[in-house]
Amino acid sequence: MFIILSQMTTHQSLRRVYDRLKAESPTWLTVSRMSESRLGKLIGGAGLSRRRVPQLQTIPQRLQRDFGEATLEPLRLMETPAAERYLLSLPGVGPKTAKCVLMYSLGREVLPVDTHVQRVAVRLGLVPASTRYSELHDALENVVPAVDRYAFHVNAVAHGRSVCVAPVPRCHLCRLRSLCRFAGRWRRPTRRDHRDRAGGEDFWLDTRKV
């Protein structure tokens, strides 16, 4: 549910919307039984509520039908390709969402690609800029070792949000600029940039699973 909500909101408001929904409807099945108007109001802060309400209600119903309860636990017994195919069959679930569930919820060594991961990977030259989005997940998984995919995903998202931003990256703050073929192609740092740098460096996180 958290990952489905993340499709429609910024990371700043995601937690607030999710906590509000969970407080009123603590299980997936109760979400499916909530009135559409009430559910739409609860997730209204996430945007696109009218479009997502049927998805949020249909997925628990589908899990209940297939597994006898609204849970993803049976997917743990499936091989990763089979689990991914099942997730992709759910309404509103695309490749990135499916791989996020596989990685975060099921502990599989896959690599979800969002706009931040794509931007960082292209600028570092890990994949060509011409790579189609439908091919990005496989292309990056062929480059990043399985054991490093979780850390790469989380770090690339954080880096893309804070330093390797669009349209103009903050190269003067980047610890990877010596490895990046795009470094130095952008504008010179402003006084504000120098103040930002004095206040803190890029947080290139070590989030390897323990």
Over 70: is that where the pLDDT of 200 sits? no
**CATH top-level class for 115-199?**
mainly alpha
d(CA 5, CA 10): 10
pLDDT of residue 104: 95
CATH for the stretch 2-101: 1.10.340.30
Position with higher pLDDT, 46 vs 26? 26
Average pLDDT rounded to a whole number, residues 110-122: 96
pLDDT of residue 169 exceeding 80: yes
Burial string for 34-49 (b: 16+ CB within 10 Å, else e) reads beeeebbebbeebeeb
> In the chain, pLDDT over 70 holds for what percent of residues?
82
Mean local confidence (pLDDT), 8-26: 79
Sign of the CA dihedral with 92 first, then 156, 2, and 51 last? negative
What is the average per-residue pLDDT within 80-99? Answer: 96
The answer to whether the Cα torsion of 136, 140, 146, 149 is positive or negative is: negative
**pLDDT for the residue numbered 205:** 40
Q: Where are the domains of the chain?
A: 2-101, 115-199
Residue 206: the pLDDT is 39
Q: Would 2-101 and 115-199 be classified into the same CATH topology?
A: no
HEC assignment per residue over the chain: CHHHHHCCCCHHHHHHHHHHHHHHCCCHHHHHHCCHHHHHHHCHHHCCHHHHHHHHHHHHHHHHHHHCCCCCHHHHHCCHHHHHHHHHCCCCCCHHHHHHHHHHHCCCCCCCCCHHHHHHHHHCCCCCCCCCHHHHHHHHHHHCCHHHHHHHHHHHHHHHHHCCCCCCCCHHHCCCHHHCCCCCCCCCCCHHHHHHHHHCCCCCCCCCCC
99 vs 111: CA distance, rounded Å = 7
pLDDT at residue 22 tops 80: yes
Locate 201 and state its tokens. 């460096």
According to the model, what pLDDT value does residue 190 have? 57
Tell me, rounded to whole angstroms, the distance of Cα 113 from its chain centroid.
7
C-alpha span between 68 and 62 (Å, rounded): 9
pLDDT at 53 over 80: yes
Given a cut of 50, whether residue 188 has pLDDT beyond it is: yes
pTM, 2 dp: 0.81
Please report the pLDDT score of residue 126 as a whole number.
96
